[in-house]
Amino acid sequence: MAEVKAFSLFSEFDINLFKAGKHYRLFEKMGSHPVTYNNEDGTYFAVWAPSAKKVSVIGDFNYWNAETHPLKVRWDESGIWEGFIPKVGKGTLYKYRIESHAEGVTTEKADPYARRCEHPPNTASIVWDDDYHWKDAKWLNTRKKHNSLEAPFSVYEVHLGSWRRHAKEERFLSYYELATELVDYVKDMKFTHVEFMPIMEFPYDPSWGYQITGYFAPSSRFGYPEELKYLIDELHKNDIGVILDWVPSHFPEDAHGLGNFDGSCLYEHPDKRKGYHPDWKSLIFNYERNEVRSFLISNAIFWLDQYHVDGLRVDAVASMLFLDYSREDGEWEPNKFGGRENLDAISFMQELNTEIYKSFPDVQTIAEESTSFPGVSKPVDLGGLGFGMKWMMGWMNDTLQYFSKDSIYRKHHQNDLTFSMTYAFSENFMLPLSHDEVVYGKHSLLDKMKGDEWQRFANLRLLYGYMFTHPGTKLLFQGGEFGQGNEWNFQQALDWYVLQYQPHSGVQHLVKTLNGLYRNEPSLYEKQFSHEGFEWIDYTDAENSVLVYIRKGKKSKDDLIVACNFTPVPREQYRIGLPRKGKLTELLNTNAKVFWGSGDFQNEKLISEAKSWHSRANSTLINIPPLALVILKYSN
């Protein structure tokens, strides 16, 4: 085998950017790259290992021998080891064997920048390059309107390993198979976006992908990198946006991963108070280190650039923001101002969002953040973190607690529903009913509902109606859209068989209808992040557990009036105040027979009366079915 030859993809400018933490496209330089050098085909390797005294490429091409292909460290104190190995090409298995300056410490590591990895439990990296030809130019040219904060944004959260499985072989569906089955389903259900739980390579299935070892490699469980691109392409061709779960908060301690990479704390913070996560038994990135910031921001840019994704949902932001997250007194150290905020993580997120929106102004970043930290979705130049949206965890917790109560007690807890409107416009909120709410004994959404079978399904339909008419964008985890009764199990497919039963197919039909309504009614999205888009008609009737409100668009003719009845007692001839006189029609009733409701208590030919009610000059009498929501719209 020919020796390693001196060759570099790095310029002096690249190195200076890397050291300063300002190189945001490291994937073009680091890792393995099939190239031609001096008329020889081979692969260029580059890895950051500043504490190493020797780095060798080992693989199936040299029988995993650490003596034959040592890399050379650059002279510029960047800590980058590199070299060109002839006759090594696409498909080659490899790792880096790293001898540390620390006495007796040698590691064998997967490539942090590998574009493809072996199928777990195997752990080698694979030299990879693809020439996939994208066909989504039309989508990219128009996605600004699809991803706008003034556009409908309804997300279907998917775990690729359990959404559906091959019926006969009981295996994962491939990216190619999903490009037909998943795309057709999401399009039919009228969701605007899908969100994939982490698809970067991860070693341990029960982590659901949140413990990543291959940040630049799509999981080999479902196929090749270009097959994932094909799946995304097909989604785009059907006007469906793609959001990826992204985890810059922590990573696992697996021997082939980023931990103790070159015998030192390279990617993780060396102080355990900042570098180890007690909840998840994982390591925390060192946001103080420039090169680590470059790695993470480059990774975000990689998925947006190379895979054409339309947004990133950033996991566990709260754990990054606070030094005392899940720590007792004495287990954390205050920042230089004596506070609990992680100033380096905050500046990292601001830098991340600044670069993303600079390079890709038509995408969205979404923070999974569970505290009241201010300004998460405010622009960086106004002191915010710069995310496009933030999950509304308070709404989710309060709403699910309310729906888990027997209806007889709900009159004492009306505030659980109304409280969200006191802060609904402090951030650009997304309403999440995510995977976290249907695991670990929390029960499925359907199983959280109280009452007999009819009431449970009516409650679930009411929940979805309330969610889709509440200000904010929407996210629903797989299975919720048809009322799966069992908790989510990542080891098996969803219970698709239940769709043969009318209660489940009715819920599914409602979610499809709500998605269509959300897309078609401007009042539900044009001002979804503004107090101008919402107005109470009445929130004081706790005795009857009724709420009535208006959703407002840019034009008053688009206004919708929503009435909710959270008890199994029908509210017939219930008077509500109206914003103006005129005729109204019933746009949606969650009690309709097509949704497996009773079909009773519908509203026909409603006409306003000049009778003052709810401090308004006009009013009308409506029927609100038991455990149901109705939407009314002016017809003149």
**Does the pLDDT value for residue 1 go beyond 60?**
no
Structure-token match 């830098």, residue found: 351
Q: 555 is written with which tokens?
A: 């034009």
Report the distance separating Cα 215 and Cα 551, nearest Å: 41
At 526, the pLDDT band (50, 70, 90 cuts) reads: very high
Catalytic residues: 315, 368
- What would the mean pLDDT of 422-431 be, rounded to a whole number? 97
Percent of the chain exceeding pLDDT 90 equals 96
Q: Are 191 and 155 in contact (CB under 8 A)?
A: yes
Closest residue by Cα to residue 189 from 499, 614, 581: 499
- Length in residues, the chain: 636
**Does the pLDDT value for residue 587 go beyond 70?**
yes
Q: What is the pLDDT of residue 2?
A: 55
Type of residue at 34: P
Report the distance separating Cα 58 and Cα 118, nearest Å: 15
**pLDDT tens digit sequence for 300-357:** 999 999 999 999 999 999 999 999 999 999 899 999 999 999 999 999 999 999 999 9
Report the distance separating Cα 6 and Cα 374, nearest Å: 50
**Does the pLDDT value for residue 585 go beyond 70?**
yes
423 CB neighbour count, 10 Å cutoff? 13
- What would the mean pLDDT of 539-566 be, rounded to a whole number? 97
Domains of the chain: 12-126 (2.60.40.10), 148-247+301-325+367-524 (3.20.20.80), 531-634 (2.60.40.1180)
DSSP letter for 198, please. Answer: P
The whole model's pTM is what? 0.96
